[in-house]
Amino acid sequence: MVNRKLAVRPQVIIFDCDGVLFDSRRANQIFYNHLLEHFGKGPLTEDDLNYVHMHTVGDSVAYLFKDEATRESADGYRKTLDSAPFLSKMEMEPGLIDFLLFIRPWSKTAICTNRTTTIGPLLKMYSLNDYFDLVVSALDVRQPKPHPESIYKILSFFKAKPEDCWYIGDSEVDALTAGKAGVPLVAFKNPALTADLHISGFPELKVYLNGKG
């Protein structure tokens, strides 16, 4: 369903990471359950998992560990962990590489993520670095999503207007970020979001763009 006219060939396509490039819920669940177990706490609830899936690791640790002393210990401990075993549990979305190759001749590509130190190792592990012109993580801005600073940074880098871009996201945080920045939202596998276009995956989006070309 299309709610407003989208750019037929967007100048820039901006991708969220978790839930768009990768199905990362299981990896996030394993990581944060490990953290909770280490400090003698029970596993994530479904609400907890929904929160950590959308927010920065710092915000997630603060959410899960209300006591300041434990929170500081948990934050210190997670920084000592090797991210590789957790990143290896992530599943790349079907059709992603094919879609990136399809759009590269006419669209710049960017990642806008609330990940911090793990986005670099993640892209390297799955050999995705060469497919993106710009990566903006929570470490690259003063205020992470849902503040629009990360989108503004991407627009400035490419000298692009909001209406000439797309933002592909799967969460309410993504919807808020895109809305505040004035960038059309393509909702990825989340029909509950208010968006300009809803898609079930990258193969469907490729078909949509082929039909507009």
pLDDT in tens, 146-163: 999 999 999 999 999 999
pLDDT for 101-115, tens place per residue?
A: 999 999 999 999 999
pLDDT value at residue 155: 98
pLDDT, averaged across the chain:
94
| Cα–Cα distance, 26 to 141 (Å, whole number) | 27
Asked if pLDDT for residue 126 goes beyond 70, the answer is yes
Q: How many CA atoms lie within 13 A of 211 on its CB side?
A: 7
Asked if pLDDT for residue 77 goes beyond 90, the answer is yes
- Taking the CB of residue 155, how many other CB atoms lie within 10 A of it? 22
Q: Report, as an integer, the average pLDDT of 31-48.
A: 95
Put the strands of the sheet holding 12-15 in their side by side order: 134-136, 108-112, 12-15, 165-169, 185-188, 197-199
pLDDT value at residue 6: 84
pLDDT value at residue 2: 47
The superfamily CATH assigns to domain 12-23+90-212 is HAD superfamily/HAD-like (3.40.50.1000)
Domain extents for the chain? 12-23+90-212, 25-87
Joined together, the tokens standing for residue 52 give: 């950590």
Residue type at position 60: S
Asked if pLDDT for residue 4 goes beyond 70, the answer is no
CA-based R_g, the chain, Å: 17
**Which is it for strands 91-92 and 22-23: parallel, antiparallel or unpaired?**
antiparallel
pLDDT for 54-67, tens place per residue?
A: 898 999 999 999 99
Q: What percent of the chain has pLDDT over 70?
A: 97
Asked if pLDDT for residue 3 goes beyond 70, the answer is no
